[in-house]
Structure 1
Amino acid sequence: MHDIRALRADPAAFDADLARRGVEPVSAKLLAWDGERRQAQTVLQEKQGRRKALAREIGTLKRNGGDSSDLEAEGLALRAEMEALEEQVNVLGRESTALLANLPNRLDATVPEGPDESANVVQHEWGAKPAFTFTPKQHFELGETLKQMDFATAAKLSGSRFVVLRGGIARLARALGQFMLDLHVTEHGYTETQVPVMVNDDAMYGTDKLPKFADQSFRTEDGRWLIPTAEVPLTASVSGDILEASALPLRMTALSQCFRSEAGAAGRDVRGMLRQHQFEKVEMVSVTTPEESDAEHERMTRCAEKVLEKLNIPYRRVLLCAGDTGFGAAKTFDLEAWLPGQGAWREISSCSNTRDFQGRRMNARYRPQAGAAPVFVHTLNGSGLAVGRTLIAVMENYQNEDGSVSVPDVLHPYMGGVEKIS
């Protein structure tokens, strides 16, 4: 959500920031509505004052035996006028809020220009791509040959974009999730959290998933939403709160199931596990102050990078351009893992600073010091990592010519000592 005061202060800058995302100018319309609403509110307050004065005058007349019929008629007319003004104020307020709720966040000045992912900027690369003496296979080829990755049974049970994992691959997926959680809790200082996978409208709206992404989410018959990411319940856990500065930063992590309808993704990544309706992800969320959010963004991204480094998966960090930055983000770093079977870099983590965009939507604030006025918090979220995509990266980077998959050293304790899946 945007601060209408910032728009009033510099409407040209507001429109220019949104233009970087390809959004048409809206400040003139918003300011016109805002002006009408404030004028109507001023007139309403004046009429409220007059009505109170009338009530006093009518009371005095009646106590003295006078005729108050003219004043009572004026009062009735005032009531009708006030009801019309209240409706005007409410309608203009709803229209302004609806428009603001559908506008993306303003981008950080360091976000590069560009219409789509082709303009993203690689910040750095880490690790050496594995050199194979054979043609590497894609993860689904490996998994189906091992008879431990079953898309046919999943389709029979649930339809497309689901998978059944078995045996060593299922255990490897579980090991990855546990390893990531342990790393973020013991070394990175995040608090492990278990969250509901169903949330209400307020939680989705406050984390900018509604109304923009309603068609990409699953809704239950009783009106709740299956979470698209644990970012939603973790971030929304502070909605409506006024936190003490000493409590910040809050750092939370959760391993959860995630659900996405993948609307608009028809024909993309139809083979394998890259784009699923249901998947596991370890999420990191930080709630912090405006002064610390940029440093927290770098810290969070490094936490995600550490997972890949300990797994020895080659990756690169990419700064997303204006046209590829998500709706709620002011700035985003993607981590892309090297997949030898595809011969391509693929996103495995996305770490975003939303600044106070979500804080305003969910009215989450903190008090900088005792007695000070509350200030909106800054919130950040990042994948640390997507378990299914990390499983893909491990399988493709650690595959052997005979179709087996070696287990990264750091996962041996989580695999009961198993060093190879065959």
Structure 2
Amino acid sequence: MSAASSASTGGPPAVPHLDVDPFAVAFFTDPFPTHDVLRDAGTVVYLDKWNVYGVARYAEVHAVLNDPATFCSSRGVGLSDFKKEKPWRPQSLILEADPPAHTRTRAVLSRVLSPTVMKQVRDRFAAAAEERVDVLLGKRSFDAIPDLAEAYPLSIFPDALGLKPEGREHLIPYASLVFNAFGPPNQLRQDAIERSAPHQAYIAAQCQRENLAPGGFGACIHARVDEGEITATEAPLLVRSLLSAGLDTTVNGIGAAVYCLARFPDQWQRLRDDPTLARNAFEEAVRFESPVQTFFRTTTREVELGGAVIGEGEKVLMFLGAANRDPRRWDEPDAYDITRRTSGHVGFGSGIHMCVGQLVARLEGEVILSALARRIARIEITGEPKRRFNNTLRGLDSLPITITPA
């Protein structure tokens, strides 16, 4: 891995050029040494492999996330520039939109998933967590990804959304597809899009008003059409945003938390001693593992960032995972500490585009970790963990564990 600076002609400092591929399987396997290289090379770097700028330090990532007028989302939050090529699916009205359009649609989802609504569903989510722990205690040994990280959100979120029971096996593959598609035209992206037809067809059908149960999150979104807040065309696209945002962050966040707590038994004991730390244990796992690793923005004008000048129409890749372990921002960033003050981490993004499913993810993460901490004495990893490779998401495919009842 080499870093070569372009020639300086006075004025702004040259931006270091790196031969890093952040979408290679070798990088996904262990991104942390490369994160060090990216952060240490400069405030802004240039990645020759994909002809994009990159920011890996916390200050610059936070700055990009919080300046949507300069670093826009409507031209795509992946490598594709929607000004130059057609999106592979209709654009997201949330993730791939800028104000003022984004402001209106985001307000609808914020009301549907408000803190008040989360309080109303909390007991239901907590009861489902207890039921899942009952099942796991019956097994003792199981794979924490399909049997816990996926099984718990799938047991509660699709019902809360109002989905029919049939076809839910498409939900996780669809979310995986969406996040692979943000990457470059590599094998992961091509394979995901080639296999996408049945998943896309299922999602498109489930997002229609007539297929959603009354009283669910999905029906609440469609009800906003009657109020004149959104159009009948926009409503299914907003339900679609909720489908991917409400599952992938939660599945990978819970998987990350269990993986952390199994690797750091002192932190597990701390959580057992004080289950009210469950929310923070989940939050710290999101910082520590960063289930969403990267997102792109596109510059709307020439801009100076961290002393470097970036021209208009350039793609900027934000390394959220690197920012979340930047020693310039965090004390002992490579330590998993459930008592850490995690506020400010960018695991769910920051600013107007913060993950729309974050309240759901936090609620589910808190209640499942709390249920586990109260009823399980030990978590032991009993087999080789396997990664699930994705252009944007960091998570496990398999985590064999054995639990000891409290």
Length-normalised TM-score, structure 1: 0.26
Indicate the structure whose relative CO is greater, using CA pairs within 8 Å and at least 6 residues apart.
2
Structure having the higher Rg:
1
Give the helix-richer structure, 1 or 2: 2
Give the strand-richer structure, 1 or 2: 1
